[in-house]
Amino acid sequence: MASEQETFETQTAEEILKWTIATYGPRAGLASSFGMEDMVLIDMLAKQGGGLTLFTLDTGRLHEETYQTMERVRTKYGLEIVAYFPDRQAVETLLRQKGLYSFRESIDNRKECCRIRKVEPLNRALAPLDAWVTGLRREQSVTRTDVPKVAEDADHPPMVKINPIADWSEQQVKDYIEDHKVPVNPLHAKNYPSIGCAPCTRPVEPGEDIRAGRWWWENPEHKECGLHRRG
């Protein structure tokens, strides 16, 4: 896929989405946590008439504002949202054995929580698919600087992972949202550039990295939940 990758790098996000719809149809899933980047892709998808599977991982600990944004997507765009939840028994066992905030005690504990609430549901979501689309951008963090626009997913081969706005800046995302009147999560207006589970997300301070509010008690090089492998 090397030569194809070079071609994709020169294409716009809309062109890549159009190719994804034509190539995979509903066998490609748009993974959304309903942050700004995902809302841009949802708006682009709706403008192209849909055609992909739109899914989300409901960890059970999301902000109320995130659920409000999901509902705005459903009503504004008329798109079905397929929600995946963590395994009930796994969550119950974790809480009984380690309590509600074990993820703040160590990186291993935090990754365990992410594995139960995010990674396992993601694997179920991807099982019937051949490709998935994400809103990853290279400037988001040190773990994402070399994200390709289209490549085989190293974690789920031979699945293809598609990142149409990998080369976008944060300002490009904001400009698209303003120009196209895209609804966004109200938390963004409260200095939450990156939004995850409520206990693991805080607003960022002026001058901080845009991912500084995620798992803020950890070092930047550890700030992935397992959904996206570094590089």
Task: List the catalytic residues.
Answer: 225
**139 with 166: CB under 8 angstroms?**
no
- Give the separation between CA 105 and CA 88, rounded to whole angstroms: 22
What count of Cα atoms within 13 Å lies in the side-chain half-sphere of residue 181? Answer: 3
The answer to whether 207 and 195 are in contact (CB under 8 A) is: no
> Contact, 204 vs 193, CB < 8 A?
yes
The conformational region for residue 2 under phi > 0 = left, psi -120 to 50 = alpha, else beta, is alpha
As a whole number of angstroms, the distance between CA 148 and CA 130 comes to: 17
